Amino acid sequence: MGNVQASSNLPPMPPNMTPIPPPTTPQKLPPENRIENPGSVEELHKKCKELFPMTFEGIRLVINKGLSNHFFVSHSLLIGATSQTSNYKFGSTFVGTNQVGPGDFSPLLIGDIDPRGNISTNVNVQPWDNVKIKLNTQFQEFKTNGVQTTAEYRADRYTATLCLVNPDLFNYTGIYISQYLYALNNKTSVGAEVIHQRSPQIPNGHITVFNVLGRYIYDDATTISTTLSLTGLQCCYHFKASEQLQFGVDLEGSLLQRDINATFAYQAQIPKSDINIKGSIDRKWNVSTTLEKRLHPMPFTFALSTMFSPAKHQLRMGVGFLVG
């Protein structure tokens, strides 16, 4: 028997048919093209607000002590011009072992108490990767003065938040807030906020405010955020000139009171001297400034605070010392 060529026995392929490639797995977007979560509405104006100085009056002493890697205590003493402005607080902080983000751990428990019986507590728990629950309570003279509960859900491109402030489900009073922030891309985010308040002191027993939210990041150095409603607006501008210098402008207006106020703030850091300076000035020429100096190699920080109000003819100054 002769040799048989198998290729000569195959029928020819039709002219319009091409081989079907094997199925491939879907390709993931590169990190630069992936749209990140926009954060919460609470963080909308955060970059600008962090530039404003936290001023104080009098002599302030703060001592922080870490008892372990998860438990910390603090002593805060403020000596003011009068007994009403003087105060002492003992605080404690517990940091859990579940790390849910850079510098973010769950659960996080924070509390402080003063000799008058005023207590403040903050509880932050993240039971799931996308869900965070916060509970803030205020007690005045060992009596409940305020309760705020917040539930936050973070998806890939949006964040939804529900907040209840002093809710009374039996009498149906309190403040109920719902927020939603959506990322169109990594530069632009839009959202909405609905605030509903019920109280016997309000005409008709209730009031509802609807806010439109927006944020635009021009580049890594410029951020513009806006909150707009039928009764007012708030617009914040943040510019990072360098790693040591930042500027911010906060513009707030009320249509009901027909008033508008603009505040300019800045933050300057001098790394070689370990000096951090924050200052602000508003439309009424109210000036606030704080200066913090780190005293190396000791774990001490020296602070100065100044507040000047020309309209009230007031000049308030403070000196602070932070240990730990």
Helix (H, G, I), strand (E, B) or coil at 104: strand
Higher pLDDT, 15 or 108: 108
User: Could you read off the pLDDT of 132-153 as tens digits, one per residue?
Assistant: 999 999 998 878 889 999 999 9
pLDDT for residue 49? 94
Q: What is the DSSP string of 221-262?
A: TEEEEEEE-SSEEEEEEEEE-SSSEEEEEEEEEETTTTEEEE
Ramachandran class of 39: left when φ > 0, alpha when ψ lies in -120 to 50, beta otherwise: left
Type of residue found at 216:
Y
**pLDDT above 90 as % of the chain:** 66
User: Could you read off the pLDDT of 175-233 as tens digits, one per residue?
Assistant: 999 999 999 999 999 999 999 999 888 888 889 999 999 999 988 889 999 999 988 89
pTM score, whole prediction: 0.82
User: Could you read off the pLDDT of 107-128 as tens digits, one per residue?
Assistant: 999 999 999 889 999 999 999 8
Instruction: Single out the residue of 184, 219, 191, 154 nearest to residue 35, CA to CA.
Output: 184
pLDDT for residue 4? 42
pLDDT for residue 105? 84
> Which residue blocks in 26-153 are alpha helix, DSSP H?
46-49
Residue 215 has a CB neighbour count (10 Å cut-off) of: 24
Helix (H, G, I), strand (E, B) or coil at 128: coil
pLDDT at 52 over 90: yes
Q: Rounded CA gap, 155 and 147, in Å?
A: 27
User: Could you read off the pLDDT of 228-286 as tens digits, one per residue?
Assistant: 998 889 999 999 999 999 999 999 998 877 889 999 999 999 988 899 999 999 999 99
8 pLDDT tier (thresholds 50, 70, 90): very low
The DSSP code for 205 is G
User: Could you read off the pLDDT of 310-323 as tens digits, one per residue?
Assistant: 999 999 999 999 99
Residue 98 in contact with residue 126, Cβ under 8 Å?
A: yes
Q: Rounded CA gap, 55 and 57, in Å?
A: 7
Q: Rounded CA gap, 319 and 88, in Å?
A: 16
pLDDT at 6 over 60: no
Q: Which of 81-85, 169-173, 304-308 has the highest mean pLDDT?
A: 304-308
For the four alpha carbons of 5, 6, 11 and 14, in that order, the dihedral sign comes to negative
User: Could you read off the pLDDT of 82-103 as tens digits, one per residue?
Assistant: 878 889 999 999 999 888 777 7
pLDDT for residue 31? 55
